[in-house]
């Protein structure tokens, strides 16, 4: 049984996937199962994956016959992953060669439910980059872990015992939803600040576009679910509660400002949710 299963969803990433797979296959930590989910790519992505699989016996390939989105792809990987811990890498990103060695070394000592590394965010490979300060907040409050789940490894039992699957009817807020629940159920989260995941923010990617009405409605659905989750589960912990609703309010502010047309009907709903989240944050 491998120590770590790494799940990589792939859809039309022929210009990026080789870099990604090289960074995983050449890890200093070798006890890795690599699961590549080809989400019905129409470019040369599958051929590239298959060439890697010919040279690396630890690679498993899942070919979806219909494009179903990143949440379905990740869930298909979760269904067959057998590692003690599970990690995720997006096909257009890459990791330092000692990334998993550093994370698992911490896991082997303290046996935490989650071990989180750090990130470097690059803007279109143009030389601009920055690093978030999320780890600093997580050391204070585990519920501050509400995005960038791919910088971490998660104990397989944490995922399976709590049925942590990505929502398959939503591809615009699946990350914060999933990792918020994972952080809540985790008994402890260890931080490794020098284990680096490189996240490339491409301007043509989904996260940089005005969302469709269907996406906005799906986002609203899961924001409401999370708000109810926070009210139900975090009321007795002031730090977690305030951190959680600070994240919700900031996220709503960004979505209504950058992802939704201000004259649309959904903008009013987003604004009402934003005001509610501000009031909830101030309640404690």
What is the structure's pLDDT at 206? 46
- Does one domain contain both 14 and 138? yes
Q: Are 70 and 31 in the same domain?
A: yes
Q: How far apart are CA 2 and CA 55, in angstroms?
A: 18
Tell me: the pLDDT tens digits for 154-207? Answer: 999 999 999 999 998 866 788 899 999 999 999 999 999 999 999 887 655 545
Which residue range(s) make up the domain with 168?
4-207
Mark whether 142 and 158 lie in a shared domain.
yes
Segment among 91-105, 122-136, 168-182, 185-199 with least mean pLDDT: 122-136
Mean pLDDT of the 111-138 span: 81
Residue 279 pLDDT greater than 70, yes or no: yes
30, two tokens: 């070798």
Q: Any idea what the CATH number is for the domain that residue 36 is in?
A: 3.90.550.10
Q: Which of 207, 234, 268 is the last residue of a domain?
A: 207
Q: What does the pLDDT look like over 224-274, one tens digit per residue?
A: 999 999 999 998 889 999 999 999 999 999 999 999 999 899 999 999 999
Lowest mean pLDDT among 17-26, 57-66, 100-109, 129-138: 129-138
Tell me how many domains the chain contains: 2
Co-location of 69 and 169 in the same domain: yes
Q: Are residues 73 and 184 in the same domain?
A: yes
- Cα separation, 5 vs 264, in Å, equals 43
**pTM of the entire predicted model:** 0.92
> Which of these three, 190, 207, 224, is where a domain ends?
207
Question: Which runs of consecutive H residues, i.e. helices, occur in 156-237?
Answer: 156-161, 174-185, 213-233
**Residues 197 and 229 placed together within one structural domain of the fold:** no
Among 5-19, 44-58, 188-202, 263-277, the range scoring the smallest mean pLDDT is 188-202
| Nearest one of 2, 158, 4, 5 to 74, comparing CA atoms | 5
Distance CA 76, CA 39 (A): 10
What does the pLDDT average to over 2-18? 97
> Mean pLDDT, to the nearest integer, of 203-231?
83
Q: What is residue 170's three-state secondary structure?
A: coil
């Amino acid at each position: 049984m491998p120590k770590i299963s790494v799940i990589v969803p792939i859809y039309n990433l022929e210009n990026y996937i080789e870099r990604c797979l090289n960074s995983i296959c050449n890890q200093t930590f070798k006890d890795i199962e690599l699961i590549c989910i080809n989400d019905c790519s129409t470019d040369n992505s599958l051929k590239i994956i298959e060439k890697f699989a010919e040279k690396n016996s630890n690679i498993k390939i899942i070919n979806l016959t219909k494009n179903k989105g990143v949440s379905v792809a990740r869930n298909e990987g979760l269904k067959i992953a057998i590692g003690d811990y599970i990690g995720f890498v997006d096909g257009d990103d890459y990791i330092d060669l000692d990334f998993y060695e550093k994370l698992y070394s911490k896991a082997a000592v303290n046996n935490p439910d989650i071990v989180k590394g750090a990130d470097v965010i690059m803007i279109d490979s143009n030389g601009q980059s920055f690093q978030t300060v999320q780890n600093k907040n997580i050391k204070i409050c585990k519920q501050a872990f509400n995005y960038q789940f791919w910088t971490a490894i998660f104990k397989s039992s944490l995922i399976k015992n709590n049925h942590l699957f990505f929502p398959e009817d939503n591809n615009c807020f699946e990350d914060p939803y999933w990792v918020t629940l994972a952080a809540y159920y985790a008994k402890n989260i260890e931080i490794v600040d020098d284990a680096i995941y490189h996240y490339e923010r491409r301007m043509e990617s989904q996260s940089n576009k005005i969302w469709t009405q269907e996406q906005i409605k799906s986002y609203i659905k899961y924001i409401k679910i999370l708000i109810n989750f926070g009210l139900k589960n975090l009321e007795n912990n002031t730090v977690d509660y305030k951190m959680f609703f600070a994240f919700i309010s900031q996220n709503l502010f960004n979505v209504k400002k950058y992802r939704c047309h201000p004259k649309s009907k959904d903008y009013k709903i987003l604004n009402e949710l934003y005001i509610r989240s501000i009031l909830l944050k101030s309640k404690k």
